[in-house]
A and B are shown apart, each in its own frame.
Chain A
Amino acid sequence: MLEVRNLEVVYSDVILVLRGISLSIPDGSIVALLGANGAGKTTTLRAVSGLLDVHNGNVTKGEILLDGEPIHRKSAAKIVRLGVSQALEGRRILAEMSVEENLRLGAHTNHRSMDANMERVYHLFPLLRDRAKSTAGYLSGGEQQMLAIGRALMSAPRYLLLDEPSLGLAPLLVQQIRDIIVEINRQGTGVLLVEQNAMMALSIADHGFIMEIGKIVMDKPAGELLDDEDVREFYLGLSGDEVQSFAQVKHYRRKKRWLS
């Protein structure tokens, strides 16, 4: 079980971004973390992966527990070795290097099982096998996302953190990525899925958290969130009343910001 408890994060010693959030990812489950831009989703993932240092951020309160052991003071490298791996927002592939080199980098902590893990990744993403020797920068957006996920899997993690994997992808590709996340999960990896595409995330998640300016404002099984009137209407854009004016929507959104 990976748990975040009452976590508070501050950037540059003064900018309070997470105001005491709690969430948990049980082994082998898919958990969705949803919220508008700037809510603090990426910051949450940075805290879990030990990347706050790079951004001059600090955990000022609360804790992050892996099987009950605190990990929020550990280095990023150590956290990967403990089985928590992240694919960063925006893919961040090593554009100058080949697909295979990107995957080899993913095996940094787990070099001995590199071949087996690479085989698993190529099985999930047959396309990457065909492009193994090509320069990663020439892959399409969808392929780059697959590479980013594949690279994160090369350490054979127990928990996979995905930061907006569907960002900027065509609907068909979003579906593909979704199916692959389901398959990865079926093979036994817990997934924390950060998304703005709430529909996609909730359709596969066991549980969902909705975040708004540094707080968790909803914490429910994914099915309940999908059925929730407010979530449906504003978050998923499934309102029955379709001729709402944009101004009205904005007005509504101001009242219920977590829905925007």
Chain B
Amino acid sequence: MSTLLQAVLNGLALAAVYALIALGFVIIYKSMQVLSFAQPALMLFGGYFVVYFSSRLGLNFYLAVLLAIMVAGLSGLVIERSFLRPMVGKPVFAVAIMTIGIDLVVRIITGNLFGVESGGIGATGDPWGLGLFIGDPAFGATFHWGDVVLNQRRFAAIVAALLVIGILLAFFRYSRIGLAMRATAFDQEVALTQGVSVSSVFALSWAIAAALATVAALFISPNTGTIDVNMFAFALKALPVVVIGGMDSIGGALLAALIVGLAESLTITYQPVYAGFLGGSFSQVVPYLVMFVVLLVRPYGLFGTREVERV
């Protein structure tokens, strides 16, 4: 029982990270109909700035995260303005391939900026200061409930994702700009007739995606709390999540992240015991396996729009 609970908790933490990355993909896709392959690089880029501000400059961890989010968001904006703006009106697949190039460039720049060695997200095992919140400064890196161990980075991932996603959904629902973004996604010409600057919406969607990727970067290695250049591959696993959700659906991406996160975590826990012959890292295949099954039943993903897929 506690094994199951443990697997579910870990799965939720994994789902939180997938959700953050997948939302970035979906937001860009909704506004520009382009699948951006630059998300992995933006995640590393933002993550390294957290390392830089917190570990190297020694700033307060929360401040470091905030600054890194701002730097990444701004960079997303600049990337859109300089490399994607001139591509408006070009075939969508060409623009998508262009983003692969952007991904490479950003990864190389990130590597040069920070050196290739890995960096720690926060100097200590408790960068969030959760110990202070619960009045126990000696608090370690994990919570214990009986046999269940919750690494506090996982706990932080779940809380941060809920918070960030909540803010994002409220932004789309209630704010003037959020509404303009939804309108642009639904009918670009209508948005234009109402005075929305569609090009600003494109740029903003890149900024938001980069900011989300930065938050995700905090949690991609909950055990070691470090980030290194090879971890971009983690973000690629959010691609099947996006496809399962239906490409252009925020709700779909969130549900898909939950399904994939849980499935992967349960596989990590139970597959070595019950199906050991599948090998040691079979869980890596799970997102793609889930995608395969979902697409057999629902060709447009869980909540995908048919029209979108016909393009």
B187 touches A54 (CB 8 A): no
B187 touches A76 (CB 8 A): no
Query: Which B residues touch A54, using CB under 8 A?
Result: 188-189, 192
A88 touches B182 (CB 8 A): no
**A-facing residues in B167-205 (Cβ within 8 Å):** 176, 179-180, 182-183, 186-197
- In the assembled complex, how far is the CB of residue B218 from the closest CB belonging to chain A, in whole angstroms? 33
Query: Which A residues touch B188, using CB under 8 A?
Result: 54
Number of A residues with CB within 8 Å of any CB on chain B: 31
B193 touches A51 (CB 8 A): yes
A51 touches B194 (CB 8 A): no
Determine whether A97 belongs to the interface, using a CB cutoff of 8 Å to chain B: yes
Interface string of A98-111 (1 = CB under 8 A from B): 00010011111101
A94 touches B193 (CB 8 A): no
Bound-state Cα–Cα, A88 to B193, Å:
8
Number of B residues with CB within 8 Å of any CB on chain A: 18
Q: How many A-B residue pairs have CB under 8 A?
A: 67
The chain B residue with its CB closest to the CB of A106 is: B194
Choice from A56, A81, A111, A152 contacting B89 with Cβ under 8 Å: A56
- In the assembled complex, how far is the CB of residue B106 from the closest CB belonging to chain A, in whole angstroms? 29
Determine whether A77 belongs to the interface, using a CB cutoff of 8 Å to chain B: yes
Query: Which B residues touch A151, using CB under 8 A?
Result: 194
B195 touches A77 (CB 8 A): yes
Choice from B180, B187, B189 contacting A108 with Cβ under 8 Å: B180
A76 touches B190 (CB 8 A): no
Bound-state Cα–Cα, A54 to B199, Å:
12
B197 touches A77 (CB 8 A): yes
The chain B residue with its CB closest to the CB of A161 is: B193
Choice from B176, B193, B196 contacting A152 with Cβ under 8 Å: B193
- In the assembled complex, how far is the CB of residue A95 from the closest CB belonging to chain B, in whole angstroms? 8
Bound-state Cα–Cα, A111 to B180, Å:
12
Known: A105-B180, A108-B180. A80 touches B189 (CB 8 A): no
B196 touches A88 (CB 8 A): no
B197 touches A80 (CB 8 A): no
Choice from B179, B186, B189, B195 contacting A88 with Cβ under 8 Å: B189
Known: A94-B187, A105-B183. A51 touches B192 (CB 8 A): yes
A80 touches B176 (CB 8 A): no
Query: Which B residues touch A51, using CB under 8 A?
Result: 189, 192-193
Determine whether A117 belongs to the interface, using a CB cutoff of 8 Å to chain B: no
B195 touches A155 (CB 8 A): yes
- In the assembled complex, how far is the CB of residue A194 from the closest CB belonging to chain B, in whole angstroms? 14
Known: A56-B89, A97-B182, A108-B180. A92 touches B189 (CB 8 A): yes
- A77, A88, A97 interface centre (most CB from chain B within 10 Å): A77
**A-facing residues in B133-167 (Cβ within 8 Å):** none
B195 touches A80 (CB 8 A): yes
Query: Which A residues touch B189, using CB under 8 A?
Result: 51, 54, 88, 92
Query: Which A residues touch B191, using CB under 8 A?
Result: 105
Query: Which A residues touch B192, using CB under 8 A?
Result: 49-51, 54, 76-77
A86 touches B193 (CB 8 A): yes
Choice from A76, A81, A95, A104 contacting B193 with Cβ under 8 Å: A76
A76 touches B186 (CB 8 A): no
- In the assembled complex, how far is the CB of residue B191 from the closest CB belonging to chain A, in whole angstroms? 8
The chain A residue with its CB closest to the CB of B176 is: A111
Query: Which B residues touch A152, using CB under 8 A?
Result: 193
B195 touches A49 (CB 8 A): no
Choice from A56, A95, A109 contacting B195 with Cβ under 8 Å: A109
The chain A residue with its CB closest to the CB of B180 is: A108
A88 touches B190 (CB 8 A): yes
- In the assembled complex, how far is the CB of residue B306 from the closest CB belonging to chain A, in whole angstroms? 14
The chain A residue with its CB closest to the CB of B173 is: A101
Query: Which B residues touch A56, using CB under 8 A?
Result: 89
Bound-state Cα–Cα, A14 to B253, Å:
42
Bound-state Cα–Cα, A105 to B191, Å:
8
Determine whether A96 belongs to the interface, using a CB cutoff of 8 Å to chain B: yes
- In the assembled complex, how far is the CB of residue A134 from the closest CB belonging to chain B, in whole angstroms? 16
**B-facing residues in A146-173 (Cβ within 8 Å):** 151-152, 154-155
Query: Which B residues touch A75, using CB under 8 A?
Result: 197
The chain B residue with its CB closest to the CB of A91 is: B190
- In the assembled complex, how far is the CB of residue B214 from the closest CB belonging to chain A, in whole angstroms? 29
A94 touches B89 (CB 8 A): no
- In the assembled complex, how far is the CB of residue B8 from the closest CB belonging to chain A, in whole angstroms? 33
Q: Closest 7 interchain pairs by CB?
A: A80-B195, A109-B195, A76-B192, A77-B197, A77-B195, A108-B195, A92-B190
Q: Can you pick out 23 interface pairs between chain A and chain B where the beta carbons lie within 8 Å of each other?
A: A49-B192, A50-B192, A54-B188, A54-B189, A76-B195, A77-B192, A81-B195, A86-B193, A88-B189, A88-B190, A92-B187, A92-B190, A94-B182, A101-B179, A105-B179, A108-B179, A108-B194, A109-B194, A111-B176, A151-B194, A154-B194, A155-B194, A155-B195
Q: Which residues of B contact A (CB under 8 A)?
A: 89, 176, 179-180, 182-183, 186-197
